A and B are shown apart, each in its own frame.
Chain A
Amino acid sequence: MSGPSTYVPKSGFARWMDTRLPIMRLAHDTVITFPTPRNLNIWYTFGGILAFCLGVQIITGIVLAMHYTPHTAMAFDSVEHIMRDVNYGWLIRYVHANGASMFFLAVYIHMFRGLYYGSYKDPREMIWILGVILYVLMMATAFLGYTLPWGQMSFWAATVITNLFSAIPFVGEAIVNLLWGGFSVDNPTLQRFFSLHYLLPFVIAGVVILHIWALHVPGNNNPLGIDVKGPQDTLPFHPYYTVKDLFYLSLFLILFAAFVFYAPNYLGHSINYIEADPLVTPPHIVPEWYFLPFYAILRSIPDKLMGVVALFGSMLTLFFVPWLDTGKVRSARFRPTYRIFFWLFVFDCFVLGYAGSQPVDGVLFNTPISLLLVARIATLYFFLHFWVIMPLVGLFETPKPLPDSIAKPVLQAAE
């Protein structure tokens, strides 16, 4: 896609096909010869890992849907039927449930990688924006899917999250009733959530194609953040990066398998093994770990509408990152000040995650410091990082000198 095609059809059929549907040319140029910077490190393997995660979720999800019943009276039982009576049903369900966590783990590493190396900067803004769209779609899909087992946390998470929309002035109630398909979370809610949970992964797959397409126009960014100057700076994607990605994918799968086979419920909540009961509110409603920072932002604002605005604002902020970062240099390797703020931001996300996991009236470890105060400071910092620190650092920072080319330092280091 980037640069002229080097595909040469080898057989008569391939030549015939190439003038009618050049699909082999597309595949050849995309995954075989695609010129890739030769200095990509481990953090660049998560794109491939994410594609694998999406595939795993779709395949296990389709099999689960063959045995699952989206009805309030039968959903919980059908999940237990999968766990007990379907051949390897326990394996498929545990892979799907833990696969969601692995998917988010990979996407967070992928996003922080982009923030560190400035992968969203000119000319890669569209790759980043499509990535943020993918992230929002992933969150929607994960939330919808978590409702389906119809356990206590499923039901109450669905109730809490759908109720957020009631904060919207004038139309809020109508939107909530539309989401519910009635006047409370009930069977129509479960059925539409199932339908949408089955739909969205294919929307994600479509946007992934756009994401890769947008990537293949300017080509990959790289840890040095400088442009590719010529063929000496790149290697063909296959076999160099197919083999490298496969190695790191295999390591990632060891972690994945450790959760699936040895701690399959560690990332879950025990009360989701109690069937949903609209009459019993759990003492502590918490989302899955990957939503905790956003949950902390939501709870840190005392006003419901403003809390929802902050929640959606934190996601919308990500769309503006390419323009909020005013730095002229991409990679944080050459940005001494930005690098410090990058790690402070990572720390801030962990603080938010911890605050979100604890009861709202909790304290910081055993100190008298209120966690609500901590969450409020961390929320403020989240927005400060993007809207104040990023633009200012870019204006005032003096970057370190950039290397002349990718090939030079890379090949020198190898000697």
Chain B
Amino acid sequence: MLKLPMRNALLAFGIAALGALSAPASAAEHGAAVESRDWSFNGPFGTYDRAELQRGYQVYKEVCSACHSLNRIAFRNLSDAGGPGFTELEVRALAASYQIPAEPNERGETTDAEGRPLMREALPSDYFPSRFPNDNAARASNNGALPPDLSLITKARDGGSDYIYALLTGYGHEVPAGVTVNPGQYYNPYFLGGLLAMPQPLFANQVTYADGTEASIEQMAHDVTAFLTWTAEPKMEERKSLGFAVILFLIAFSGLCFLSYRKLWHGEH
């Protein structure tokens, strides 16, 4: 086997290699440093909290969806395993509370007698409708800024869920000297550059939680961030539980391989 000094050198190389792997991720691109939060989905065994996701869905529906779309999520996803855990009946009712553009009727018409577009109740297989018909309409209603789709938002920002929570609760700070807040801009130290077009979205008791949880700004921000973490990574629970089995198998398999290897090579080294 290897001589000891060389083995140590190679070990140092391995550690340095792991360090270098982590280097690209450290290049943070946003504003103030974000605090790590104790999410239920953290760590190798972390899962989503069903009640938290259901409350988060309520915050999305009653607050965020006024401007932000959620294009990649279908109503049926709300009853998927590893998600908010709504029942299929609940999802059916919940989808039916949305009106979406209907397909052309049997006479090929897309509008009714008064020229209004034909609408129908959404089905579980439909996707969340956007608040605006297109991006330009969304910009026109938001001072020229486009509210991003939220389906992937926690994976699309450095800092992930911690960053989204920090941003949602990061309003109300005193504007530092030298920063000019123009009309239609709002100050938030966590946003890159500090100025964004989104006004403070959450206010205490803005929603009424069915489970009696107090709707503080922090609570709502926490719940909706958890919900958006699920929309970005809906297969997380399946991934972690499969990973546990795979790694357990690999460790056992490595052990067997090692025993065969040692027996076979006995006296040959």
List residues of chain A with CB under 8 Å of any chain B CB: 38, 41, 43, 80, 83-84, 90-91, 94, 101, 105, 108, 112, 235, 239-240, 243-244, 246-247, 250-251, 253-254, 257-258, 260-262, 264-267, 269-271, 273-274, 283-284, 286, 288-289, 292, 333, 343, 346-347, 350, 353-354, 357-359, 410, 413-414
Q: Would you call A254 and B235 a contact (CB within 8 A)?
A: no
Q: Tell which of A108, A240, A258, A271 touches B265, judged by Cβ atoms closer than 8 Å.
A: A240
Q: Would you call A80 and B152 a contact (CB within 8 A)?
A: yes
Q: Tell which of B23, B152, B232, B265 touches A353, judged by Cβ atoms closer than 8 Å.
A: B23
Chain B residues with CB below 8 A from A251, complex form: 254
B264 → chain A closest CB, angstroms = 6
A333 → chain B closest CB, angstroms = 8
Chain B residues with CB below 8 A from A254, complex form: 247, 250-251, 254
Q: Would you call A247 and B258 a contact (CB within 8 A)?
A: yes
A351 to B216, CA, bound (A): 47
Q: Would you call B239 and A261 a contact (CB within 8 A)?
A: yes
A283-B29, A286-B27 are known contacts. Are A247 and B261 too (CB-CB below 8 A)?
yes
Q: Would you call B27 and A413 a contact (CB within 8 A)?
A: no
Chain A CB within 8 A of B2 CB = yes
Residue of B nearest to A415 (CB): B267
Chain A residues with CB below 8 A from B238, complex form: 90
Q: Would you call A359 and B27 a contact (CB within 8 A)?
A: yes
Chain A residues with CB below 8 A from B151, complex form: 80
Q: List 16 other contacts, CB 8 Å, given A243-B260, A289-B23.
A: A91-B239, A94-B239, A105-B21, A240-B265, A243-B257, A261-B239, A261-B247, A266-B22, A267-B21, A270-B158, A273-B155, A273-B232, A274-B156, A289-B20, A350-B19, A413-B1
Chain A residues with CB below 8 A from B9, complex form: 343
A25 to B130, CA, bound (A): 65
Q: Report how many A-B pairs have Cβ atoms within 8 Å.
A: 130
Q: Would you call A261 and B155 a contact (CB within 8 A)?
A: no
Chain A CB within 8 A of B160 CB = yes
Q: Would you call A90 and B235 a contact (CB within 8 A)?
A: yes
Chain A CB within 8 A of B268 CB = yes
A348 → chain B closest CB, angstroms = 12
A266 to B22, CA, bound (A): 8
B194 → chain A closest CB, angstroms = 14
Q: Tell which of B16, B20, B156, B254 touches A247, judged by Cβ atoms closer than 8 Å.
A: B254
Q: Would you call A264 and B239 a contact (CB within 8 A)?
A: yes
Interface residues on B, range: 35 or more
Q: Tell which of B17, B244, B269 touches A414, judged by Cβ atoms closer than 8 Å.
A: B269
B115 → chain A closest CB, angstroms = 30
Residue of B nearest to A342 (CB): B9
Q: Tell which of B19, B77, B247 touches A258, judged by Cβ atoms closer than 8 Å.
A: B247
Chain A residues with CB below 8 A from B148, complex form: 274
A354 to B22, CA, bound (A): 10
Chain A CB within 8 A of B246 CB = yes
A246 to B157, CA, bound (A): 39
Q: Tell which of A83, A261, A264, A357 touches B23, judged by Cβ atoms closer than 8 Å.
A: A357
A90 to B242, CA, bound (A): 12
Chain B residues with CB below 8 A from A358, complex form: 23, 27
Chain B residues with CB below 8 A from A244, complex form: 261, 265
A83 to B236, CA, bound (A): 11
Q: Would you call A250 and B250 a contact (CB within 8 A)?
A: yes
Chain A residues with CB below 8 A from B24, complex form: 267, 269, 286, 288-289, 292, 357
A41 to B254, CA, bound (A): 17
Q: Report B121-175 residues with CB < 8 Å from chain A CB.
A: 148, 151-152, 155-158, 160
Chain B residues with CB below 8 A from A283, complex form: 29, 192
Q: Would you call B264 and A91 a contact (CB within 8 A)?
A: no
Please name the 6 residue pairs, one residue from A and one from B, whose CB atoms are nearest each other, closest first: A261-B243, A247-B257, A273-B156, A250-B254, A357-B23, A273-B155
Q: Report B172-219 residues with CB < 8 Å from chain A CB.
A: 192
